[in-house]
Amino acid sequence: MIEFKDVSVRRDGRELFSGASFQLHPNHKIGLTGNNGTGKSTLFALLLTQMGTGDTEVTLDKGEVSIPDSWHVAHMAQEVGASSQTAIDYVLGGDEQWYTLNEALSDLSSVSDDQIGVLHQQFDEIDGYRTPTKAAQIMAGLGFNTAQHDLPVEGFSGGWRMRLNLAKTLMSRADLMLLDEPTNHLDLDAILWLETWINSFTGLVIVISHDQAFLDATVGHILHVEQQQITLYTGNYQQFIRTRHERMAQQQQAFEKQEATKAHLDDFIRRFRAKASKAKQAQSRIKQLERMAELSPMMADNPFSFQFYEPAHMSSPLIELSKADIGYSTTPLLYNANVQVTPDTRLGLLGMNGAGKSTLIKALVGELGVLTGTYQVSDTLKLGYFNQHQMDALDAEATPIEMLRRLAGKTSDAQLRSFLGSFDFRGERIDTPSKLFSGGERARLTLALIVWQRPNVLVLDEPTNHLDLQMRQALTVALQGFEGAVVLVSHDRELIANVCDELYLVHDGQIDEFDGDISDYGKWLSEKRKQENSSDKGTNKKGKNKKANKKFIDKDSVSRETDNEAGNGNTDNSKSSKKKFANSKLAENTAASSLTKEEQRKLAADQRKLTAPIRRDIEDTEKSLVKIDQKLVSLETQLANTELYEESRKADLLKLLDEQTALQQQHSDHEESLLLAMTTLEEIEAEFE
């Protein structure tokens, strides 16, 4: 195992963490989290230094790090240089033992007969004859086709080189694997494959990631760096969030109690320090005050808080592709595409790597003309388009406030600075040229410039690639409140689930509505891989006329909702009327199979309008439950005080017990109301199916 004992580390004169003590065991899957700049990469560098590898040496200021001498480490670096080496050879290089033996067996001219036998035995012991197959499987999982195996590394783009680097890392026969943002350059199907691979890996994995769903699916512990402390939590990311919030609430209570005690001591010292009769007591209070451990108050630590402005007038449809073949030169990649973007559209695009999602996006925003069919946009269209190219096109010499000034006209500097502050551009960063920004900062700045322009259609192609968890959360909340249309391509499942009302599947040249949610898409991918693995891998499947959209919906999940669409239970009086209204809506329409896409979207809009009050009720009830839980926790803390059970405190004890009983009853009533409201919501949504 790896053991940290009272470890402290400083870099560039700044203390990153101190007194760190924890143990990491073989087979554990660890998520390393914390705000940018807290020392996550330094922790990786420290582990590499302790194991005698790595490019950056990090020394201990204090403490001890213990790692078994026999362990080998694999580290996913963040840069891959240009090389004429073929992709498959580069990946095979990750298995150093195999690569060394294979090189020796490839040239036996200087090897004795006895040594040849030993080499073959060692090669057989490591299952070396199957290693190239393993490399090919890893590359396939990460999106490479067999034709790319013999291409030189220098022929791949930066993002694909990072995939090669990840594949090389996964090939290692390591006991410890350090993965730094492995999902940044992957699409969703590659991420799902990587989750399966990590879960089957028998060594210790420590991963830095801003993808919450990825962490939830892969890790069983969270190592969190915060305020120069490293804390090890048991459970996945969701469990970590709950546990951390509980700790923060307890810390806030302790802080408030300490502040009250300090105020009392300060007051005593101030009043009696000069009096001879009280001097000794005052000195005692001073020493008591000095011995007090400093506690930090609970802080809302997300520096991002922004919202999209309300769009101006919108007509419908805003964008429309009709019977369109889309591709490059004269070769279609997508056939007979029919996509309509209205003010109510909340569309997520799914599809395997290379299926044509980005091609469809380019057609929707007008960057790529259609080969056949029609493409029309409304006169009221105001497009907000985010992709990697937009980030790269930022004026490298300009500062955030200079770029925003070009869009803002006569708006005051104070307003511009306040706006940029909501994207965490503060102080000197507002006046720093963008060429000095990290990928995350450039992504935030690009989003800020888009938000300022008040778009009525947002087309977002992998907007979270460089964003940390806090910014992803802020973006999710902002998109939920956006009143225009959204078209989204993202590998962030939480973002898709919380923002999109409908999903389209791009596959085999077709664009079809996907009858399921994001977890059903994972099942579809798994089934697709099984089919491909069982078929002839040498066959080039064009299959553009195949129907790709399959149902994978469980009976119990027909009307599944996203986690943050919540509500209150005060819906008993309105259940009947709302169901009747839903039924009447259905009666006014023909069967779903005969509705046009526009009618279906209107029906969906009616559904959202009808269920909106119930969702608000559910949200209010859940907020009330949180407050009741907090009060119950506070009461339990008070009831744990042994002094309360003395005879003289009997009245206080009875009062607290009565309050606890009342709160528990309120909690039960609210839970029942919440259940009724959610049942009503499901019934109404089922009527619209």
Amino acid at 547: K
Torsion of CA 208, 213, 217, 221, to 10 degrees: 50
Domain boundary pick from 529, 557, 585: 557
Least confident range from 127-136, 314-323, 461-470, 647-656: namely 647-656
Walk across the sheet containing 485-489 and list its strands. Answer: 383-386, 457-461, 485-489, 346-350, 502-507, 510-513
Together in a domain, 506 and 374: yes
Together in a domain, 577 and 532: no
What average pLDDT does range 527-534 have in this prediction? 71
Place of tokens 């500097």: 413
Domain boundary pick from 271, 291, 311: 291
544 exposed, middle or buried (CB, 10 Å; 0-12, 13-18, 19+)?
Answer: middle
* pLDDT of 4 higher than 90: yes
Q: How far apart, in whole angstroms, are the C-alpha atoms of residue 239 and residue 212?
A: 11
The reported pLDDT for the residue numbered 650 is: 67
Count Cβ atoms below 10 Å from residue 92 Cβ, excluding itself: 22
Residue 204 DSSP label: E
| Max avg pLDDT among 209-213, 266-270, 317-321, 389-393 | 317-321
Least confident range from 37-41, 239-243, 251-255, 288-292: namely 288-292
The reported pLDDT for the residue numbered 314 is: 87
Together in a domain, 552 and 621: no
The reported pLDDT for the residue numbered 553 is: 29
Q: How far apart, in whole angstroms, are the C-alpha atoms of residue 684 and residue 689?
A: 9
> Structural domain of residue 628, as residue ranges?
572-688
More confident residue, 210 or 290: 210
Q: Is the dihedral of CA 511, 516, 519, 525 positive or negative?
A: negative
Q: How far apart, in whole angstroms, are the C-alpha atoms of residue 651 and residue 243?
A: 34
Kindly report, residue by residue over 334-357, the tens digit of the pLDDT.
999 999 999 989 999 998 877 889
The reported pLDDT for the residue numbered 562 is: 33
Together in a domain, 283 and 327: no
SS3 at position 310: coil
Q: Within a 13 Å sphere around the CA of 176, how many CA atoms are in the beta-carbon half?
A: 20
SS3 at position 411: coil
Within-domain flag for 105: no
Within-domain flag for 157: no
Within-domain flag for 249: yes
**Residues in contact with 463: Cβ distance below 8 Å, sequence separation at least 6, in sequence order:** 386, 443, 447, 475, 488, 490, 495
Compute the chain's Rg from CA coordinates. Answer: 30
Judged by phi (left if over 0) then psi (alpha if -120 to 50, else beta), residue 354 lies in left
| Structural domains of the chain, count | 3
Tokens of 97: 């033992």
What average pLDDT does range 422-449 have in this prediction? 88
Together in a domain, 585 and 532: no
Together in a domain, 283 and 324: no
Within-domain flag for 445: yes
| Max avg pLDDT among 363-367, 489-493, 595-599 | 363-367
Angstrom distances, CA of residue 473 to CA of 180, 305, 316, 500, 664: 20, 9, 30, 15, 32
pTM metric for this prediction: 0.61
Q: How far apart, in whole angstroms, are the C-alpha atoms of residue 28 and residue 233?
A: 12
Together in a domain, 346 and 446: yes
The reported pLDDT for the residue numbered 23 is: 93
The reported pLDDT for the residue numbered 288 is: 56
Kindly report, residue by residue over 69-124, the tens digit of the pLDDT.
899 999 987 667 777 889 999 999 999 889 888 888 887 777 777 788 788 888 88
Q: 86, 29 in Cβ contact below 8 A? A: no
Tokens of 458: 């947002």
The reported pLDDT for the residue numbered 289 is: 62
Count Cβ atoms below 10 Å from residue 516 Cβ, excluding itself: 22
Q: 490, 464 in Cβ contact below 8 A? A: yes
Q: 197, 205 in Cβ contact below 8 A? A: no
Look at residues 514, 380, 507 and name the one whose alpha carbon lies nearest to residue 456: 380
Q: How far apart, in whole angstroms, are the C-alpha atoms of residue 236 and residue 275?
A: 58
What CATH number is associated with residue 428?
3.40.50.300
Within-domain flag for 408: yes
Within-domain flag for 147: no
Within-domain flag for 246: yes
Together in a domain, 342 and 267: no
What average pLDDT does range 152-171 have in this prediction? 88
What average pLDDT does range 509-520 have in this prediction? 89
pLDDT-derived band at 22 (thresholds 50, 70, 90) equals: very high
Residue 555 DSSP label: G
Q: How far apart, in whole angstroms, are the C-alpha atoms of residue 377 and residue 289?
A: 69
What average pLDDT does range 434-447 have in this prediction? 87
Kindly report, residue by residue over 372-423, the tens digit of the pLDDT.
999 999 999 999 999 888 888 889 999 999 999 999 888 898 999 999 988 8
Q: 458, 309 in Cβ contact below 8 A? A: no
Q: 618, 566 in Cβ contact below 8 A? A: yes
Together in a domain, 468 and 529: yes
Tokens of 625: 């439950």
602 exposed, middle or buried (CB, 10 Å; 0-12, 13-18, 19+)?
Answer: middle
The reported pLDDT for the residue numbered 103 is: 83
Within-domain flag for 90: no
Residue 567 DSSP label: B
Mean pLDDT rounded to a whole number for the chain: 80
Q: What percent of the chain lies above the pLDDT cut of 90? A: 32
What average pLDDT does range 34-42 have in this prediction? 82
pLDDT-derived band at 689 (thresholds 50, 70, 90) equals: low
Count Cβ atoms below 10 Å from residue 419 Cβ, excluding itself: 19
